[in-house]
């Protein structure tokens, strides 16, 4: 039992329920793993060791009383843009340094109610703006498969932690790809649920019409369980769906039956690394062997997703980030007048990418430009959504690569924002359409770096999506590979 940190959530729950391990032993094993590899990976902004062990003890006591809960005793990593009562929450930004929320985000409250143990807060791009975690206001995180490379982003800390065995699973958030792209680059599973399926109450907002919370896990089954626990209506978030939450773990295990998979030619274009395209074609072949029908579909507005996203997301961010003024939260830089105080605080507290987005967004929303930019982008967004509606008339899921490339080198793209934005070229349109999508491992490139397969389904069809992803996972062994780090 020396390798407890390598267990999946579902495996650990079986052992906990059988009384073969305790949550304290499991949590301690993960904390030991953190102590062993964190100086290489830097996945966490802060580890809450004492609190985690206290929660684990409480979970064991609860189990000893004959009680159970869906995640009782399972240690998880939490992205730092999710509010955690009593634990500093910075969103990867200096401007929130020292801010400790007096409340839990709804997802955190639900995880705690389900018995989860919180290990700490993970590194991210500042305010979730980025694709490599290099925009963190604090430090870089390394990809556990190659420490000289990025883990992806913006949820790079959670993805790296899960890949490195520094948590059994974790939470990320996905505005335009930030759960799926780091999952892909770190060789783990990342699910972006339907917009409104999971509450954002207590998530520090980036772009409110796009933000969604999602699990980052080692298997599809674990993603199904975490989604199950977190999903559902929340009176504190009026965008949440009232639709009842299906049994995702049960749905996932059903036979897939006659399956129609759509493959858009727009996802196999120049700029996709050849071994990524090859691995994804390999996944298509696997699905054919499983009896699926492969159908060509078209998403003609795919090319517009980048421009649309980079108008809508910064516009909404410029409004959402107006609240960080040095008065109410975190960091403050003094000034002679109140305006100076705001300017000094924001000037020193926000990093360059966040500043760039606030300026772009403020410009796009300013009088006279609103119709030409934001409104027009919203209209094209509808066309992107209609592309998916049409494709889903003939197929059950849509398949393609998650990221055009595997993990790139730290520092390689930091001087060129556009090149960084291109890392999300295949993950933006599902977010704009509000539909669920999952990334799961489907191979390795010539350098041994993981490659991710992306599957997308119509809104609220997470059950179907997980079922198809699970069938693929069962037929392959990619998800069983772990990076060579520390002692194993
Ligand atoms: N990389 C994209 C961006 O920089 C998406 C980020 C996200 O999903 N939070 O905006």
Ligand 1 centre to CA of 421 (Å) is 8
Q: Which of 83, 132, 136, 154 is catalytic?
A: 154
Distance CA 61, CA 56 (A): 9
Looking at 322, 356, 380, the residue that finishes a domain is: 380
Query: Would residue 23 show up in a list of annotated catalytic residues for this protein?
Result: no
Mutate to test the pocket of ligand 1, among 81, 130, 157, 171 (most ligand atoms within 8 A of CB): 130
The verdict on whether 79 is a catalytic residue reads yes
Q: Is the CB of 174 under 6 A from ligand 1?
A: yes
* Domain-ending residue, one of 211, 230, 253: 253
Does one domain contain both 35 and 175? yes
CB-based burial, 76-106: b 16+ in 10 Å, e otherwise: bbbbbbbbbeebbbbbbbbbbeebebeebbb
| Confidence (pLDDT) at 367 | 87
Both 155 and 225 in one domain: the answer is yes
The answer to the question of residue 249 being in a domain is yes
Q: Answer yes or no: is the C-beta of 176 below 6 A from any ligand 1 atom.
A: yes
Task: Name the residue range of residue 351's domain.
Answer: 303-380
Which DSSP string corresponds to 439-479? EEEEEE-TTS-EEEEEEE-STT-HHHHHHHHHHHHHH--GG
Q: Which pair of tokens denotes residue 52?
A: 């985690």
> Could you tell me if 133 and 218 lie in one domain?
yes
Protein residue with least CA distance to atom 5, ligand 1: 176
Q: By CB neighbour count within 10 A (0-12 exposed, 13-18 middle, 19+ buried), where does 39 fall?
A: exposed
Q: Give the CA distances from residue 255 to residues 191, 338, 467, 469, in Å, rounded to whole numbers and listed in that order.
A: 21, 63, 8, 12
User: Residue 485's pLDDT is what?
Assistant: 85
- Where the chain has pLDDT below 70, the residues are 1-2, 486-488
- What is the count of structural domains for the chain? 2
Task: Specify the 3-state DSSP secondary structure of 325.
Answer: coil
Catalytic residue among 22, 79, 199, 439: 79
**Apex 19 CA angle, 13 and 22, nearest 5:** 70
Whether residues 222 and 310 fall in one domain = no
Are 196 and 331 part of one and the same domain? no
Q: Are 69 and 163 contained in the same domain?
A: yes
**Residue 426 is assigned to a structural domain of this protein:** no
For residue 64, the model assigns a pLDDT of 98
Q: Does residue 115 sit within a domain?
A: yes
Q: Of the residues 214, 233, 253, which one is the last residue of a structural domain? A: 253
> Same structural domain for residues 131 and 209?
yes
Q: Is residue 274 part of a domain?
A: no
Q: What is the CA(275)–ligand 1 centre distance, in A?
A: 24
Opening angle at CA 92, ends 88 and 93, nearest 5: 90
> Which residues make Cβ contacts (< 8 Å) with residue 187, sequence separation at least 6?
145, 163, 441, 444, 450, 452, 478, 479, 481, 483
pLDDT tens string 104-154: 999 999 999 999 999 999 999 999 999 999 999 999 999 999 999 999 999
Res 462: pLDDT: 98
Provide the β-strand partners of residue 264: 297
Cβ-based burial of 281 (10 A; exposed 0-12, middle 13-18, buried ≥19):
middle
**Known active-site residue 2:** no
Q: Is the residue at 485 inside a domain? A: no
* Cα-to-centroid distance, 394 and ligand 1 (Å): 30
Q: Do 310 and 233 reside in the same domain of the chain?
A: no
Q: For residue 420, which atom of ligand 1 is closest to its CA?
A: 1
Asked if residue 80 and residue 163 are part of one domain, the reply reads yes
For residues 194 and 213, what is the distance between their CA atoms, to the nearest angstrom?
A: 10
Is the minimum distance from the CB of 178 to ligand 1 under 6 angstroms?
yes
106 and 217 part of one domain: yes
Q: Does residue 400 form part of some domain? A: no
**196-212 pLDDT tens trace:** 999 999 999 999 999 99
For tokens 């029908």, the residue is 293
Q: What is the pLDDT of residue 2?
A: 54
Identify the CATH number of the domain in which residue 89 sits: 3.90.1300.10
**Active-site residue identified among 83, 142, 178, 429:** 178
Is residue 236 domain-resident?
A: yes
Provide the pLDDT for residue 218.
98
DSSP structural state of residue 176:
S
Judge if 225 and 159 occupy the same domain.
yes
> Considering the entire predicted model, what is its pTM?
0.98
* 467 falls within a domain: no
């Amino acid at each position: 039992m020396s390798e407890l940190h390598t267990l999946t959530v579902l495996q650990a729950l079986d052992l906990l329920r059988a009384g073969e391990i305790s949550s304290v032993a499991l949590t301690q094993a993960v904390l030991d793993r953190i102590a062993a590899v964190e100086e290489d990976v830097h996945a966490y902004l802060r580890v809450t060791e004492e609190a985690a062990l206290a929660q684990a003890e409480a979970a064991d006591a609860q189990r000893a009383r004959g009680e159970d809960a869906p995640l009782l005793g399972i240690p998880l990593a939490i992205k730092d843009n999710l509010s955690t009562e009593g634990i500093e929450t910075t969103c990867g930004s200096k401007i929130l340094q020292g801010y400790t929320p007096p409340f839990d985000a709804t997802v955190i409250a639900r995880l705690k109610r389900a018995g989860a143990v919180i290990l700490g807060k993970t590194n991210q791009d500042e305010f979730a703006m980025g694709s490599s975690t290099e925009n963190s206001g604090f430090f870089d995180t390394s990809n556990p498969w190659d420490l000289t490379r990025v883990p992806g982003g913006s949820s790079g800390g959670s993805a790296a932690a899960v890949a490195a065995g520094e948590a059994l699973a974790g939470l990320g958030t996905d505005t335009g790809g930030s759960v799926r792209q780091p999952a892909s680059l770190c060789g783990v599973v990342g699910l972006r649920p339907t917009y409104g399926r999971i509450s954002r109450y207590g998530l520090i907002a980036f772009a409110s019409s796009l933000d969604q919370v999602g699990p980052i896990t080692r298997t599809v089954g674990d993603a199904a369980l975490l989604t199950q626990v977190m999903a559902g209506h929340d009176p504190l978030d009026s965008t949440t769906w009232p639709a009842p939450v299906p049994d995702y773990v049960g749905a996932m295990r059903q036979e897939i039956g006659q399956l129609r998979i759509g493959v858009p030619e727009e996802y196999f274009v120049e700029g996709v690394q050849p071994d990524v395209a090859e691995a994804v074609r390999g996944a298509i072949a696997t699905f054919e062997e499983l009896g699926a029908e492969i159908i060509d579909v078209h998403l003609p507005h795919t090319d517009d997703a980048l421009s649309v996203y980079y108008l809508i997301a910064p516009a909404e961010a410029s409004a959402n980030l107006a609240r960080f003024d040095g008065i109410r939260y975190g960091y403050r830089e003094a000034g002679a007048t109140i305006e100076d105080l705001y300017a000094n605080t924001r000037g020193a507290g926000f990093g360059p990418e966040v500043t760039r987005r606030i300026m772009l967004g403020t410009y796009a929303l300013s009088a006279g430009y609103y119709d030409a930019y934001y409104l027009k982008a919203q209209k094209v967004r509808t066309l992107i959504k209609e592309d998916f509606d049409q494709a889903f008339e003939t197929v059950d899921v849509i398949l393609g690569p998650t990221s055009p490339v595997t993990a790139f080198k730290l520092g390689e793209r930091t001087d060129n924002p556009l090149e960084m934005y291109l890392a999300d070229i295949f993950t933006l349109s599902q977010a704009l359409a509000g539909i669920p999508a999952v990334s799961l491992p489907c191979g390795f490139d010539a350098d041994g770096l993981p490659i991710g397969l992306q599957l997308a389904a119509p809104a609220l069809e997470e059950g179907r999506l997980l079922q198809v992803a699970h069938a693929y996972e069962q037929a392959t062994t990619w998800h069983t590979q772990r990076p060579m780090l520390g002692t194993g």
